[in-house]
Structure formats: structure tokens, C-alpha cells
Amino acid sequence: MLPQVYTFTQCVNLYCFIDRLGLLLAHQFELFVDTPLQNTVEKIITAARECFFQHGYNAANVSLICRYAGISRATIYKSFSSKETLFRALIEHHLTEKQIMLKGYQEGGADFWLDTEQLIIDRCQGIFDDIPNAVIRSELIHNAQSLCKDIISIERELLRNAIAKRLYIEVESDRLTMSATGIAIEDFARLIEVVPIGIVSSADEDEARSVIQHLFSIFKASTTA
């Protein structure tokens, strides 16, 4: 667990480390498109997405993905050792886009709360949201949580620390205060990251968006300097 109180120097060192970790993660997820092999990898992941989305994780298999991609099993196995590896690559590919949004957020903007609310709303839009079959959607979410727990945990940690970093800047600049909340910045960042997930999972899209907007209004009011 992170300690509740940091010196300013410790905070700077921590966030420099997180920034480096984010770059490493983005590098790990990056798919280049300049070589035949890398084009093939992207083609395989696109086909795997279509296959998983139509059939679900349990019914899909490497042979079926081969037919979707129009390539041989041998070609797939050059890059992916199993269906699970392919599924993890699909999730990693999705999180690449999240990392791009997060990097833009880290660079800062004119309005901390507006930027953060938009980041959280975008982040709550999951990779499986548009799948019409509720059974397949539920199965894929379950498998993502089970097979990709480490990947998702890294993404969530990066998000929390990016929010905390922006919070520190806002406090240091006297644009907001944490004194009325009685909550440490790290814990407040975790609250901002976690609560909307629960809202999205328990309400329809329009209701969830409305509740999240009200939630951020409360966050903003409680930290007004």
C-alpha cells in the first residue's frame, strides 16, 4: 500500500517512475504497421476481435479465427501460442487507445474537473459495450477480468496515478484544496477512478452518465479553494 503522506520530492520521484512505466506499457502494447509480419499481427487481432465478439470466448478457437483472418494456423502460431494469448492481445490493443487518451490528460488542460470527468466517461466505455448479445458480452467481460487481470490492474494504476498527479498540481497551484474532504490525494484519486465503474455496471448508459456528472459536481464543490 502507498503511504498516506508524501514529501514533494517523493511525489516527483513516484510520478516520474509512473510516467516511465506508462511508456513501457504503451511500448509493449504498440502494434507497428510497417512490415509484413506486423501487418499480419494486426490482421489476426482484427479477425480475433470479430470472432470473439460473434461467438464468445468459449466457442471461439484458433481454427475459427484462422477462417476469419483467411490465414493458416501455422501463421497464427508464429505470433500467438494460444487462444488465450490472442484474447490478451486484443485487450492490450484496446488499452493502447486508453494510453493515448491518458497521455493527453497527463499533459494537462485548463479545467481539471472537466478534463477528469471526460477521461472517466471515455474510460468507462468498455471494449465489449457494443456487443448486442448479452450472454456473449457477459462471458467476454468475465474472461477479460479473469485472463487479463494483470493488464487491467496496470491500466487502473496508471489512471489513478495520473489523476493524483494532476490533483497535486492543482493543490500546489491553489486552484483546489483537499482540506474539506479529509482525504489524502491518493485516496481521492482512487475514489474518482473506482466509483464510476460501479455506477456504470449498475445503471443504463444514460442514467450512468447523469449520475457521473452529478458525482463530479460534488467532487468539484468539495475541493473548491
pLDDT confidence of residue 200: 83
pLDDT tens readout for residues 74-110: 999 999 999 999 999 999 999 988 888 888 898 877 7
Predicted confidence (pLDDT) per residue in 69-81, tens digit: 999 999 999 999 9
Average model confidence (pLDDT) for the chain? Answer: 84
AA letter at 145: Q
- Grid cell 459495450 — which residue? 129
Burial of 222 (0-12, 13-18, 19+ CB in 10 A): middle
Parts of the chain belonging to CATH 1.10.10.60: 31-81
* Cell reading at 194: 473506482
Phi/psi for 183 (5° steps) reads -120, 135
Q: What is the percentage of the chain residues whose pLDDT exceeds 90?
A: 64
The pTM of the full predicted model, rounded to 2 decimals, is 0.77
All three cell numbers of 93? 490493443
Percent of the chain with pLDDT over 70: 83
User: What is the DSSP annotation of 151-164?
Assistant: HHHHHHHHHHHHHH
Distance CA 98, CA 100 (A): 5
Q: What topology is assigned to 31-81 in CATH? A: Arc Repressor Mutant, subunit A (1.10.10)
Q: In 3-state terms, what secondary structure has residue 167?
A: helix
Question: 5-18: per-residue pLDDT in tens?
Answer: 334 334 434 444 44
